[in-house]
Amino acid sequence: MPTPTDFERMLRGAALRVTAPRLAVLTAVHTHPHSDTDSILGFVRETLGGVSHQAVYDVLKALTSAGLIRRIQPMGSVALYETRVGDNHHHVVCRSCGVIADVDCAVGDAPCLTASDDNGFALDEAEVIYWGLCPECSKTAATQDK
């Protein structure tokens, strides 16, 4: 787990001022990956007290723009945030309960960036989402089928 000093270093390295809301949001997103804005707001308010929705939205936007956090939005979901950035990993999502987990690229370094036809684009990221049932929902479904 990164320390507050690590988060301060990350902010300065991204040319962002170190503020209490930025540190609180970074900590919340790191501690609770794949959280939505309302959840992050709740975690930040536990730390700082009264913080507005707008302040958290602004911090999330700044941190995402700086590449310190990643915004994902699986189909049918609100925006979710994580601090795992820069490695082109993917996600697996349970169709039943919505739980999300990280999945490393299947083969080698970012194989998904070799598209069959890039249409002239300079590709730098691929977003792959695997859908299915998590182990708990799979057990429940198997039990119901009997």
pLDDT in tens, 69-94: 999 999 888 999 999 998 878 899 99
Between CA 131 and CA 90 the distance in angstroms is 11
Residue 70, classified by CB atoms within 10 Å of its CB into exposed (0-12), middle (13-18) or buried (19+), is buried
Between CA 9 and CA 62 the distance in angstroms is 16
Model pLDDT for residues 91-114, shown as the tens digit of each residue? 999 999 999 999 887 665 555 667
Q: Are 25 and 40 in contact (CB under 8 A)?
A: yes
Predicted structure pTM score: 0.84
The partner residues of 102 in beta bridges, in order of sequence, read 91
Structure tokens at 102: 């990280």
Q: Indicate the SS3 state at residue 116.
A: coil
Model pLDDT for residues 5-57, shown as the tens digit of each residue? 999 999 999 999 999 999 999 999 999 999 999 999 999 999 998 899 999 99
Identify the CA nearest to 110 among candidates 127, 94, 97, 133: 127
